[in-house]
Amino acid sequence: MFNRRLYLVISEESCKGRDLVTVAKAAVKGGVDLIQLREKQLDNPAFLERALRLKEALVASRVPLIINDNLWVAQQCCAAGIHVGNSDIPPLSIRVQWPSCGILGYSIEYEKQIYTAEARASDYLALSPIFATPTKTDTVTEWKLEGISKIRALTDKPLVAIGAIHEGNAADVIKAGADCLAIVSAICGAADPEKAAAAIRLQIEKAL
């Protein structure tokens, strides 16, 4: 069962020169309860090394580590799960190749995708992006609050919202129907990641 509320999507680039593990641990102290490591530019050995280092740092807090779009790394580091999008390995294939996958997330970019076998094979659906963001240059649908509410009425799957979400709009996104907020720059790029995470977590709790 997917019951997470504040989901950090982290990469070395998003941390703006700071140590990725240090930022992640601070964010966890602030209330992050799930972390996805996203490293599109790294080769497998470098990605795995970073994943293992991050996973080890999260042991004490018991915050699960999800790997973005790299099944080999996810399996090798015994991650809690994997997150994929439309151009990545399909969820049904992941279920076959990694039967013990704990959390399988799938990004949807248009409404009809919620009716597909790939969506049904996933543990949660990510709506991406909620608001246009410079970190996503291939946007198909900018969901906005109305889009969250529409998809919420069409599926019982947990919904993760991502894309330009921050302390100022977090409560509105939850009220619109999202179960969990996935954050990149509002935490990774913050001067104080712990404080930033805590502020967003507070808004989530207020909106529930």
Per the annotation, binding residues are 36-40, 68-69, 88, 107, 133-136, 164, 184-185
Catalytic residue flag (residue 150): no
Q: What are the distances in angstroms from CA 6 to CA 64, 124, 150, 177, 196?
A: 12, 14, 22, 14, 12
The answer to whether the CB of 184 falls within 8 A of the CB of 23 is: no
Q: Which residues pair with 175 in a beta bridge?
A: none
The catalytic residue among 4, 38, 50, 201 is 38
Q: Which residues are annotated as a binding site for Mg(2+)?
A: 69, 88
Catalytic residue flag (residue 195): no
The catalytic residue among 53, 136, 150, 175 is 136
DSSP state of 147: H
Residue found by looking up tokens 């996933």 in the block: 122
Which DSSP string do the residues of 155-205 spell out, in sequence order?
Answer: --S-EEEESS--TTTHHHHHHHT-SEEEESHHHHTSSSHHHHHHHHHHHHH
Residue found by looking up tokens 């240059």 in the block: 137
What does the alpha-carbon distance between residue 130 and residue 142 come to, in Å, rounded to a whole number?
6
The catalytic residue among 11, 107, 122, 128 is 107
Catalytic residue flag (residue 100): no
Q: Which residues are catalytic?
A: 38, 107, 136
